[in-house]
Structure 1
Amino acid sequence: MKVVLHRHVLARCVLGACFAAAVSGAYAQQNYPTRPVRLIVPLAPGGPSDILARTMAQKMTEGLKQTVVVDNRTGAGGTIGTDIAAKSPADGYTMLLIGVATLTINASLYPKLPYDTLKDLTPVTILAAAPYMLTVHPSLPVKTAKQLIALAKARPKELNYASGGTGTGPQMAMELVILQTGMSMTHIPYKGTGPALTEMIAGQVQVGMFNMIAALPVVQSGRLRALSVSGARRSSKVPDIPTLAEDGIRGFEDPVGHMIVVPAATPKNIVARLHQEMIKALQSADVKSRLEQEGAEIIGNTPEQAAAIVRTEIEKWAKVIRETGIRAN
């Protein structure tokens, strides 16, 4: 009888503990957040990702009434910081701000990732997107993408193109252009966009695909010539420059800028709260003005829309990596 009694008591204790935990969890979700929130950036301070993260952190701190702390976790092309975010508790207190290109290219570029991009992370929104800009040195006798394609085909392997590094978004974008058009160029990787632009301005490299935020000032000053931009429509900053699609080059229509993701099991109501605060931050006058001045387009799409773009981009870059044989350094 005593054993039976003990079993009943034990069962009641277990049920009571489970109930208390459930109530505690529900309370925590309803009152979220109750402590600071970490925003991981998997790249070094000072770059576009870091600058956007600090801008968003400041605005989201105001809305969440809790400090959003930027935490730079660099290394291995962004995979170290991404892994930390993927393995963090799914309680809404860890977010990751990352370039869509970085997230989706790494899914295929690194064959043994310690996380699953689709299973371990949940997109909240794509914040903003700046187009890629296909540029050439002014000495190159071309003024359109079609003229560049014709020249590169007539002079195979004679033209070089610069990038900020192997496996970066702009480099992969250029490889996609090459695949689609049949051009033949030699890739010259640099340690960052800055050095790549410097060498291209100096005439050491003839062609480059860059994020428009970085390329726009040197294009406007005449030091480089823009031929095309990515995106579904022309940029308001350079309305005379056609899109890649107008030049017959497909695969660059979706907005692929920076996004925020959270661990996959994060409760939906917390994801919704974070999404709400992100949209408010993006629509604030100072953030909106700053992004637009840099040539970026505010996106602020739904988690479902962002997830669909991630899946599409992973498939696209997996094909490019497979066909070009590009591997991480």
Structure 2
Amino acid sequence: MNPYFLNRRALLGAAASVVTLCVSATAQAQVYPTKPIRMVVPFAAGGATDVLARILGEKMAVGLGQPIIIDNKSGAAGIIGTDVVAKAPADGHTLVLSLSNSLLTNQFLYDKLPYSTQRDLTLVYQIAMAPVVLMVHPSVPARTGSELLKYMAANKGKLAYGSYGVGSYPHLAGAHMSLTQQADMNHIAYKGEAPMMQELLGGQIQMAYASALQAKPHIESGRIRVIGVTGERRMATLPNVPTLVEQGLKDEAYRVTGWLAIAAPAGTPRAVVQRIADEVRKATQQPDVQARVAAMGFEIKDSSPEAFAAAYKLELPVWERLIKQSGAKLE
């Protein structure tokens, strides 16, 4: 048989397969969702992640035409809930809205994780960045980042800083400060921000990083002193508080921030992932959502599956270095 006809037949067959796949993907996106969507929050109800999930879930349900059920599965630094989604059917009806710890940093903290973000999950949308506030007890005389570093160095072994968990950003940033100044500060991990804040207010610890939601009332009352905020830009809810970078603290530890994002099981059809991302973007562009998110101290991202994947790849080695430097390790 003429090779020309064989090649032509093969090309036509391949083209038909591509068209079939495209039509199938489009059809999936048009049909999706076929039932209520379960959005797993791997933290307790009432926290910032849970509040954001409920805000977005209400808005996204309108565009998707199906209710979004928030399912809080807390425990083990977000591992339990995230693992549920990693093992769920890859049809877009089970999602996780989580912090960067369960999607990124836990892989460097735990020797054994029941899931791998890169293998078992699809990154859908990076919703918001979550910078935090660096505060000190009023007994600490420092008022700027550079003054605080000098104070740490001059009081080696005398200071304590708090965090809301081993391996959390407040732990890693505090460890970085202590190491660079050879301050030998004592790290105390609390079970949440609330008890950490109470200890800072009481003077049991001298320094802590916390969310604007927790810190702002105490800053305004004068019960704690604010030093600065992390990240590259000032917080909308604390516009008069300079970033640590502005103050000359330019190490990557002060530039990176945590974030909140949505992921789906690996293998979720591309068109379905894009449909979810489009609905998240529409929800986050609404003025009332932006106002509520800004009041929580978060910064809305204009993201996409591709942008999220690129940002994830860029941040991965930074967090790995910070965690190794801190010496944090969990089982």
TM-score (norm 1): 0.87
1:312 Cα deviation after fit: 3.1
Aligned partners of 1:172 and 1:317 also within 8 Å: no
1:205 Cα deviation after fit: 0.9
Partner of 2:199: 199
CA deviation string 1:149-176 (max 9, x = no partner): 1111111121100111222232223223
From the superposition, tell whether residues 164 and 256 of structure 1 become closer, same or farther in structure 2 (CA, over 3 Å).
closer
From the superposition, tell whether residues 52 and 117 of structure 1 become closer, same or farther in structure 2 (CA, over 3 Å).
same
CA deviation string 1:86-118 (max 9, x = no partner): 111111111100112442210111111111122
CA deviation string 1:255-282 (max 9, x = no partner): 5321111112111111111011101111
1:37 Cα deviation after fit: 0.8
Partner of 1:283: 285
Q: How many residues align?
A: 310
Partner of 1:140: 140
1:176-187 alignment to 2 at 5 Å?
176-187=176-187
Partner of 2:16: none
The match for 1:267 among 261, 269, 272 is 269
- SS of residue matched to 2:255: coil
Aligned partners of 2:156 and 2:182 also within 8 Å: no
CA deviation string 1:7-32 (max 9, x = no partner): xxxxxxxxxxxxxxx99887444311
Alpha-carbon separation, structure 1, partners of 2:309 and 2:172: 21
Instruction: Report the RMSD for the aligned CA atoms in angstroms.
Output: 2.2
Alpha-carbon separation, structure 2, partners of 1:74 and 1:295: 22
Aligned partners of 2:211 and 2:297 also within 8 Å: no
Q: Does 1:156 align with 2:183?
A: no
1:23-34 alignment to 2 at 5 Å?
27-34=27-34
1:70 Cα deviation after fit: 0.7
Which amino acid counterpart does residue 125 of structure 2 have in structure 1?
A: T
Which amino acid counterpart does residue 251 of structure 2 have in structure 1?
A: R
Q: What are the ranges of 5 or more consecutive residues in structure 2 without an aligned counterpart?
A: 1-21
1:186 Cα deviation after fit: 0.6
- SS of residue matched to 1:317: helix
Aligned partners of 1:228 and 1:244 also within 8 Å: yes
Percent identical: 40
Alpha-carbon separation, structure 2, partners of 1:186 and 1:102: 25
Partner of 1:43: 43
Q: What are the ranges of 5 or more consecutive residues in structure 1 without an aligned counterpart?
A: 1-21
From the superposition, tell whether residues 147 and 88 of structure 1 become closer, same or farther in structure 2 (CA, over 3 Å).
same
Alpha-carbon separation, structure 1, partners of 2:139 and 2:163: 19
Q: In terms of mean alpha carbon deviation, does 30-39 or 238-247 score higher?
A: 238-247
Alpha-carbon separation, structure 2, partners of 1:102 and 1:215: 24
Partner of 2:317: 315
Runs of 4+ in 1 over 6 A off after TM superposition: 22-26
Which amino acid counterpart does residue 330 of structure 2 have in structure 1?
A: A
Partner of 2:298: 296
- SS of residue matched to 2:122: strand
Aligned partners of 1:41 and 1:74 also within 8 Å: yes
Aligned partners of 2:213 and 2:295 also within 8 Å: no
From the superposition, tell whether residues 174 and 305 of structure 1 become closer, same or farther in structure 2 (CA, over 3 Å).
farther
CA deviation string 1:113-167 (max 9, x = no partner): 1111222212111112232111101121110111111111111121100111222
- SS of residue matched to 1:257: strand
Alpha-carbon separation, structure 2, partners of 1:255 and 1:328: 21
Which amino acid counterpart does residue 326 of structure 1 have in structure 2?
A: A
Alpha-carbon separation, structure 1, partners of 2:176 and 2:126: 22
Which amino acid counterpart does residue 58 of structure 1 have in structure 2?
A: E
Alpha-carbon separation, structure 2, partners of 1:214 and 1:311: 30
Aligned partners of 1:237 and 1:295 also within 8 Å: yes
1:182 Cα deviation after fit: 4.3
- SS of residue matched to 1:97: strand
TM-score (norm 2): 0.87
Q: Does 1:111 align with 2:76?
A: no
Which amino acid counterpart does residue 288 of structure 1 have in structure 2?
A: Q
